[in-house]
DNA sequence: TAATTGTACATTGTTAACAATTAATTGCAA
DNA sequence: TTGCAATTAATTGTTAACAATGTACAATTA
């Protein structure tokens, strides 16, 4: 059964802006004008402001009182490294929680997400590929640790994915995800962790 | 020169609510009513909503569309442990950045914060003690990694500080902070890191 | 000319009314 | 009484007008 989740207006707007930022369509330091965004999405400024606050807390935007919000600059190499460390820690934790504790339905679901990744890669839809990549990891992180773990994880990933170039170079990316699911399916914890470590860099 | 920072209305409201939640005055699962909060702080619902979104992203509140916001439940022991690991990683990173790279003015500033901690401890003002504790760590994290590192760090700390009982047991807490500053002053990285590790648990 | 003050404009911050949604209550039937 | 449906009340979501703030530029002064 397909879920077709209903999304609130604000969540849809947030999704679009997240894509725009992660894809680089909105470059760092771009100023976001509330009125313009309201017109673009056909709402008033209220919901737009809500979204801007959310994205600011996710690290994608920087806000200054009475001045406005603009797209964040990429992390320094040091902070990028630290973020990778933290992300690994979180996802390794997730994998441990899932050992001997994951259903075939969930594994199938993850297979499905990887299939979509493959499609996007084949069609060279790199922004969608990135989004699906994030969706994959978000899925099993949420499975392992629920909303609390997801909230811990999400900002770290979003921030380090800004201006991320790795993807367009490699089919390897998709394969890496197959390896992760394979390892989970075999309940091979060591293999799962090493697969995660390889994938996150 | 003393800074006397001007805080926006929204930041002041956020500070009060954070205190209420971390102190336990607002218990987990308490529902927050926007209208009531607006009356309490003498504003309209607009700024209140902004704050609720912020605190939700910080992990202190849980929000449900069309239903409202309520205080989060404490983390599970597993997630508490993970949060401690992450927090250590971040603060150890901060200490490394500060080695041979911190001014006497900053060290003095940190001494001052610890003095305030001591006062709060002596007067048994435990909520203020917690706030000052967080202020101390926030100060040197911000010093080391700026806004980006602070944003990474802050939600982790806030979330793990909910229902945190350690403080009221020990003068040790204040001393631990002295040790951290001493180590930084001597540029003794190993000692600084071990001091941090002892303090975060 | 350089620095500073003043003014006009653009943008964000706040408010209060209204719409949409959810939760609670009432009334009715079995 | 219990279960369900319809209605009412309470709460959140959205909007548009207004207030406050910051920015850019022109005018003024030294």
pLDDT band at A25; cut points 50, 70, 90: very high
CB-based contact A164:A130 (threshold 8 Å): yes
Spatial contact of B164 and B130, defined as CB atoms under 8 Å apart: yes
- What residues contact B174, with CB distance under 8 A and at least 6 apart? B114, B117, B118, B121
**CB < 8 Å to B83, chain A:** 152
Assess whether pLDDT exceeds 60 at residue B3. no
By C-alpha to C1' distance, C11 is nearest to: A67
Residue contact A148–B76, C-beta within 8 A: yes
Label residue A165 by pLDDT band (50, 70, 90).
low
Whole-angstrom distance, CA of residue A137 vs CA of residue A133: 7
Rounded to whole angstroms, the Cα distance separating A106 from B51 reads 36
Count CB pairs under 8 A between chains A and B. 81
Determine whether the interchain pair B152/A83 forms a contact, defined as Cβ–Cβ distance below 8 Å.
yes
Nucleotide nearest to A44 (CA to C1'): D15
Strands lying side by side in the sheet with B61-64: B31-32, B68-71, B61-64
Angle (nearest 5°) at CA A119 between A117 and A122? 110
> How many Å apart are B15 CA and C15 C1'?
22
- Enumerate the residues of chain B whose CB falls inside 8 A of the CB of residue A59: 148, 151-152
Helix H or strand E encompassing A11: helix A9-23
Give residue B1's pLDDT band: very low, low, confident or very high (50, 70, 90). Answer: very low
CA distance A57 to A37: 19
- Residue A51: which region, alpha, beta or left (left: phi > 0; alpha: psi -120 to 50)? alpha
Q: For residue B5, what pLDDT band results from cuts at 50, 70 and 90?
A: confident
Q: What are phi and psi of B43, to 5 degrees?
A: -130, -175
pLDDT digits (tens, 9 = 90+) for B66-80: 999 999 999 999 999
Positions of strand C less than 7 angstroms from a protein CB: 11-17, 21-23
Q: Which residues touch strand C (CB under 7 A)?
A: A 31-35, 45-46, 49, 63, 65-69; B 8-10, 42-47, 50, 65-67
pLDDT classification of B156: cutoffs 50, 70, 90 = very high
> Residue B159 and residue A147: Cβ atoms within 8 Å?
no
Residue A68 neighbours by CB distance under 10 Å: 14
Distance between CA atoms of B155 and B197, rounded to whole angstroms? 19
Average pLDDT rounded to a whole number, residues A22-49: 96
- The pLDDT score that the predictor gives to residue B171 is 86
CA-based nearest distance B144→chain A, Å: 11
pLDDT over 60 at B47, yes or no: yes
Chain mean position to CA B107:
19
How many Å apart are CA A101 and CA A148, to the nearest integer? 19
A89 and B82 within 8 Å at the Cβ level: the answer is yes
From the alpha carbon of B68, which nucleotide's C1' atom is closest?
Answer: D12
From residues 42-71 of B, list those within 7 angstroms of strand D by Cβ: 45-46, 49, 63, 65-69
**Which of A64, A76, A79 is the mutation pick for testing B, counting most B CBs within 10 A?**
A79
The nearest alpha carbon in chain B to A57 belongs to B57
Average pLDDT over residues B81-98: 97
Report the alpha-carbon distance of residue A132 to residue A7 in Å, rounded. 17
**Residues of chain A whose C-beta is under 8 A from some C-beta in B?**
8, 46, 49-50, 53-54, 57-59, 62, 65, 72, 75-76, 78-79, 82-83, 85-86, 89-90, 93, 97, 145, 147-149, 151-152, 155-156, 159
pLDDT one-digit tens code per residue, A109-148: 999 999 999 999 999 898 899 999 999 999 999 999 999 9
- Could you tell me if residue B103 is left (phi over 0), alpha (psi between -120 and 50 degrees) or otherwise beta? beta
| Torsion sign over Cα B160, B161, B164, B170 | positive
Q: Say how far apart CA A47 and CA A11 lie, in whole Å.
A: 10
CA B67 – C1' D2 distance (Å)? Answer: 28
Asked if residues A21 and A71 have their Cβ atoms less than 8 Å apart, the reply is yes
Q: How far is B97 from chain A, CA to nearest CA, in Å?
A: 9
CA–CA gap between residue B28 and residue B74 (Å, rounded): 7
Q: What is the pLDDT of residue A2?
A: 47
Q: How many CB atoms lie within 10 A of CB B190?
A: 8
Is nucleic acid strand D under 7 Å from A33's C-beta?
A: no
Q: Where are the beta strands (DSSP E) in chain A?
A: 31-32, 61-64, 68-71
Q: What per-residue confidence (pLDDT) applies to A166? A: 63
CA dihedral for A126, A11, A116, A152, sign (positive or negative): positive
What local confidence, expressed as pLDDT, does residue B102 receive?
94
Does residue A167 register a pLDDT over 70? Answer: no
Average pLDDT across chain A, whole number: 93
Q: How far apart are the first and last CA of chain A?
A: 34
Residue of A nearest to B55 (CA): A57
pLDDT at A3 over 60: no
* pLDDT band, residue A106 (cuts 50/70/90): very high
Residues of chain A contacting residue B59, judged by C-beta atoms under 8 Å apart: 148, 151-152
- Mean pLDDT on B84-100: 96
Beta-carbon separation of A62 and B145 below 8 A: no
With cut-offs at 50, 70 and 90, classify the pLDDT of residue B166. low
pLDDT-derived band at B142 (thresholds 50, 70, 90) equals very high
């Amino acid at each position: 059964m397909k879920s077709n989740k209903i999304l609130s207006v604000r969540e849809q707007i947030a999704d679009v802006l997240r894509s725009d930022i992660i894809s680089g369509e909105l470059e760092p330091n771009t100023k976001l004008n509330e009125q313009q965004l309201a017109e673009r999405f056909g709402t008033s400024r209220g919901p737009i402001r809500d979204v801007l606050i959310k994205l600011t807390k996710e690290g994608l935007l920087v806000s200054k009182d009475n001045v406005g919000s603009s797209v964040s600059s990429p992390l320094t190499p040091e902070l990028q490294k630290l973020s990778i460390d933290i992300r690994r820690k979180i996802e390794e934790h997730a994998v441990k929680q899932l050992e001997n504790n994951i259903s075939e339905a969930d594994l199938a679901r993850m297979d499905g997400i990887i299939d979509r990744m493959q499609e996007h890669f084949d069609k060279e839809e790199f922004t969608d590929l990135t989004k699906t990549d994030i969706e994959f990891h978000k899925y099993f992180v949420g499975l392992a640790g629920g909303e609390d773990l997801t909230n811990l994880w999400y900002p770290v990933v979003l921030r380090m994915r800004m201006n991320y170039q790795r993807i367009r170079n490699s089919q390897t990316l998709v394969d890496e995800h197959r390896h992760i699911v394979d390892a989970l399916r075999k309940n091979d914890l060591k293999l799962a962790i090493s697969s995660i470590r390889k994938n996150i860099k």
